Amino acid sequence: MDGSTSFVLLIYLAKVEKVKQEYSEERRSFLRQSFGIMGFGFVSFAFLNQSCEQDEDPIVSSGSVDINLNEGKYTTLLAVGGTVKQLFERKNNLFPLIITRTEEDTFSVISSRCTHQDYEIDLPVDKDGVLVTTCQKHGAQYLADGGKVIEQPKPSGTATDLDTFEYEFNAESNVLTIHF
């Protein structure tokens, strides 16, 4: 090989090496930027997801509430057979309770959440001498006294008994304490 060919070959090899380095640098830069953006995205998602969870008002499934039967709409519970539907903030998965006075010192406190597909059920009505509550969405029926399912939803599906809540009643003060 003569000197001019060697010189041209060296220049060619130098250019090839320079192109390789530029390509390699561009590739590294692209990967750095891509992973940086992805990392920022993951961190942002984690932060936003966490902040959303912290902003939510959690549903409290413990504690108790007192209702005075001498006040407001609760006066309907002074008589046997009286019934009210009441939402207690952050309780019972945000569904109201149905409270029915079944005897002089006995109440039924049930959830108004239909166990079939989570629709709200109606206040009880007298059906052949028995207080029955119905889900208007698919027709499931429950006894107001204890929440036992007596008719399955139509056209298909399965409902289970309604959630019930313990209570204490002070007959002297007419205060009903419901426990969650």
Query: What is the pLDDT, as a whole number, of residue 94?
Result: 80
Instruction: Convert 57-80 to b/e letters by CB count within 10 Å (16 or more is b).
Output: eeeeeeeebebebeeeebeebeee
Cα 96 to Cα 47: distance, rounded to the nearest angstrom: 34
Query: What is the pLDDT, as a whole number, of residue 43?
Result: 57
Cα 89 to Cα 108: distance, rounded to the nearest angstrom: 20
Q: Which whole number is the average pLDDT over 9-33? A: 66
What single letter denotes the amino acid at residue 112?
A: S
User: Binning pLDDT at 50, 70 and 90, where does residue 27 land?
Assistant: low
Specify the range with the lowest mean pLDDT, choosing from 49-53, 82-86, 87-91, 98-102. 49-53
Query: What is the pLDDT, as a whole number, of residue 168?
Result: 97
Cα 20 to Cα 17: distance, rounded to the nearest angstrom: 5
Cα 174 to Cα 135: distance, rounded to the nearest angstrom: 30
Query: What is the pLDDT, as a whole number, of residue 104?
Result: 95
Query: What is the pLDDT, as a whole number, of residue 50?
Result: 54
Specify the range with the lowest mean pLDDT, choosing from 23-37, 63-77, 129-143. 23-37
* Entry pTM: 0.66
Q: Is the pLDDT of residue 134 over 50?
A: yes
Q: Is the pLDDT of residue 1 over 70?
A: no
